[in-house]
Structure 1
């Protein structure tokens, strides 16, 4: 009912077509798809995704969530995911509000946020739960503001701040609250994922990442998997394959060159991993296939 009220009151005011519609308020967008999708490989950066209509499934390693209308997806770390839109039709297209999370803004709020009893639990970086009414209301007001040229510049930044504050105060916000602690393991994991993404073509040293985080190798490995759903090696492999898929679809280099560029020493090994991950060979993706490549940082 809550997502229905957003659609009736606000989506009718926004000229949205299949694809991405910029709202002109920060980096907030609406995503629309008229048909269910095949599995798509995507890199999610920290974000809020509120499903307004339809449904999707998202997985990252051992983490898997079902996301029906009215649910809010929160992602706290950069994650390589597989996603699939499961409910969509021309009469009732999949529609979602997506807002990248401004971690700097959250940090400015953090000292004002009270302690919550669940904030010491090990939590994954991907969650999907029914959105709280206050968060839905703030999102609805932001969508409505996107068509109000006079009020948007004044009120848009205020509502964006409110949405971030609502995330911190929500039950789902526990992973965000933990991430903001100076010495929390989830923060060290975020630094490690950034390091892996910045050097995907280089050999992975879990010992070096653990030492940088001030942890033992076993402790770092356990915290990394608890947050991302993946081991460091699996995380690097998924990041490599997603980047490779982007390069292959662009078609500027040979498949062998792409394999070497993302750190594989054997094109044959690369092709096997690629087919296992995406269900299609690199050559099939290059010549065009059913699946849509979504190597993006949205939901």
Structure 2
């Protein structure tokens, strides 16, 4: 299986997710480094993108796009709202709905079909069965496959799986999966929200979460199919008491003495040193 190397747009989508979660640029940067190591964005770049997001600039591509897309979507959504009986909605509420849909479209623009295909292939390999045909988000939407996945990785994690029922009952599957992977060790900031999947508000975050789960299996001794890059191993160094005592005798270059150089001859502030 190929090693996943995130591109810039994908990483910017992750930054946008952390921004929406009200994380700081520094927190987002630390999480990126922990997850993607050398492939993470620089600290300055993370801060720059957070400034853009604060200015309501959610465009993730390098090239500036014209405003035609937003105007078209706003107009189309306004027409849809007008066609239905939304008499109880105020003008402000209608604009809020339009804004939410546009923001969702911007977030989902960071979707990577190759990554989604790799995730589905990994799930099939873990479960040992072929997934039903359909779109990535539709296959995972009801949470059944996700619950089966975590039960395969950690048997007994989800006790009850609702294969059919109302939307509320199906969303409970997703919530059970979220609770199970949190207990498994996936960081809370990498776990998607229920609406991210069920309402397709942030599908890239669903993919990010599943990659995080795939990496974490390595810590649990999972020997089955893997997903994503191999996690860095701890390189813990230990020193003997003799080595620690020996280090106490070393002086730094600015400790007042260095092969004949000292503070001797130094006058008051602003004076030169007389050697």
- Range of TM-score over shorter length: under 0.3
- TM-score where L is the length of structure 1: 0.24
Bigger RCO (CA 8 Å, 6+ sep): 1
User: Which structure shows the higher strand fraction?
Assistant: 1
Q: TM-score of the superposition, structure 2-length normalised?
A: 0.25
